[in-house]
Amino acid sequence: MRKRLSVALAVMLFVLGMGIAAHADQWGTITIPADKPIKIALGSMLTGDYASLGIDIKNGAEMAVKEQGTLLGHKLILQAEDDGCAGPSSVAIAEKVCNDPLVVGLVGYMCSGGSKPASDVHNKYKVVMISPSSTALELTARNIPIFFRTCWNDKIQAARAAAFAWSRGWKTVAAIHDKSDYGQSLAEDFAKNIKAKGGKVVAIEGITRGDKDFTPVLTKIRPLKPQVIYFGGMAAEGVMIVRQMKRAGLRKAHFMSDDGCFTEKDFIRAGGSAAIGSYVTYAKEPDPQWVKKFESIYGPRQTFSPQAYDAAKVLMAAVAKVAKKKADGTLVIGKKALRDAIRGTHMNGITGKIAFDKHGDRTGSVVVIYKVVKENGKSFFKQMKF
């Protein structure tokens, strides 16, 4: 009799164990004690040359978190870290936040050069990350399962810029980049698209971030007579190039750049009259009511605050969907379940419809061409009909 009971008990315990195992998350879990907050980490450049862009990203995510306030009875906290728009600092942040038991995921990193190595760390710990601004082509080509972005893949941006240049009859181009994963891949892909159309790429030159004098490169390009100079990089260098082009004798060449130069403060205002007539690619403008609310709190927005806001909203919605609440208030969040919930996102964000493909790229992203114009005494980015 005892033997039969022992066998029955063993079978029952085995079945129970199998049931628990069936419900266990294969990547492990995040456990938030009842008296602890839910942390959303953020990696963005908060000091240095691109701080205005990075703080704008922080403000966008912060706005979303503050609007939500609490989630499943837990206070929400945005833990903002300065990633320096660089690899080493982003990797250090990744190790820090991925080992914080209260962090459910990260909004960031700001730059592709930081997101690439940091994503390897996040993948090791299976902590999700959603970048609002890392657009480099290779980030989603690496098939890192925890990486998503609410911005776009630069293959779309480069192709759109090349198509616009071609439509204007600009078939002879020179490309300059800042040697970053982001800037170089954009410039090279732009050149590739121009060549594919039958155009001529007379030069592809690299510069160094932080330098201020680019006249040697521009002087080298001048005798090649490009119709357009395309710059892959950020506003700090882009504005110096556009200001120095005229001095270098490139008065007839048009200047085109990417979303890194889509900033009123660091490109339009810093460039002054030299910036007028420049072309920049970026997304469609976000919901104007959201912009009005954002600017009433933080002042004029720069570039990626809307995408950061949406990234935080996506992450919070996924947590709310998969978190299991125990009787004592503790939350248990399956890491793979959280990733799967993000991948299955279908949301109307303030930047438009948000969904992701199997690589983590946002589907349906539209890149728009803007021109810096001056009307009624005010300089601004004006969307082109294209």
pLDDT tens digits, 107-138? 999 999 999 999 999 999 999 999 999 999 89
Share of the chain above pLDDT 90, in %: 89
pLDDT of the residue at 180: 92
> In this structure, what token pair is assigned to residue 26?
């294969």
Q: Is the pLDDT of residue 139 over 50?
A: yes
| Distance separating alpha carbons of residues 21 and 34, to the nearest angstrom | 24
3-17, 62-76, 116-130, 226-240: the lowest-pLDDT one = 3-17
pLDDT of the residue at 285: 86
pLDDT band at 23 (very low <50, low <70, confident <90, very high): low
Name 310's Cβ contacts closer than 8 Å, sequence gap at least 6: 64, 132, 150, 347, 349, 350, 351, 354
pLDDT tens digits, 36-54? 999 999 999 999 989 999 9
Q: What is the mean pLDDT of the chain?
A: 93
| Distance separating alpha carbons of residues 208 and 370, to the nearest angstrom | 26
pLDDT band at 1 (very low <50, low <70, confident <90, very high): very low
pLDDT of the residue at 16: 36
Number of H helices, E strands in the chain: 13, 18
Q: Of 3.40.50.10860, 3.40.470.10, 3.90.1150.10, 3.40.50.2300, which CATH number belongs to 29-151+304-354?
A: 3.40.50.2300
| Distance separating alpha carbons of residues 281 and 256, to the nearest angstrom | 8
pLDDT tens digits, 252-308? 999 999 999 999 999 999 999 999 999 999 998 898 999 999 999 999 998 999 999
* Dihedrals phi, psi of 261, to nearest 5 degrees: -100, 5
Q: Would you list the domain boundaries of the chain?
A: 29-151+304-354, 155-283+367-383
Q: Structure pTM? A: 0.84
* Average pLDDT score over residue span 91-96: 98
Angle of helix 154-167 relative to helix 181-196, nearest 10 degrees, comes to 40
* 140, 284, 310, 316 from 177: Cα distances, Å: 21, 24, 29, 36
Q: Is the pLDDT of residue 10 over 90?
A: no
Q: Give yes or no on whether 29-151+304-354 and 155-283+367-383 have one common fold.
A: yes
- What is the DSSP secondary structure assignment for residue 265, as one 8-state letter? I
Task: Give the start-end residues of each E strand in the chain.
Answer: 29-32, 38-44, 70-71, 74-82, 103-107, 129-131, 147-149, 172-177, 200-206, 228-232, 254-257, 279-283, 324-325, 331-334, 347-349, 352-354, 367-375, 378-383
CATH no. of 155-283+367-383:
3.40.50.2300
pLDDT of the residue at 13: 37
pLDDT band at 3 (very low <50, low <70, confident <90, very high): very low
pLDDT band at 364 (very low <50, low <70, confident <90, very high): confident
Share of the chain above pLDDT 70, in %: 94
pLDDT of the residue at 291: 95
**Look-up of token digits 């609002």:** 132
- What is the DSSP secondary structure assignment for residue 171, as one 8-state letter? -
* Average pLDDT score over residue span 353-371: 93
4-13, 128-137, 146-155, 238-247: the lowest-pLDDT one = 4-13
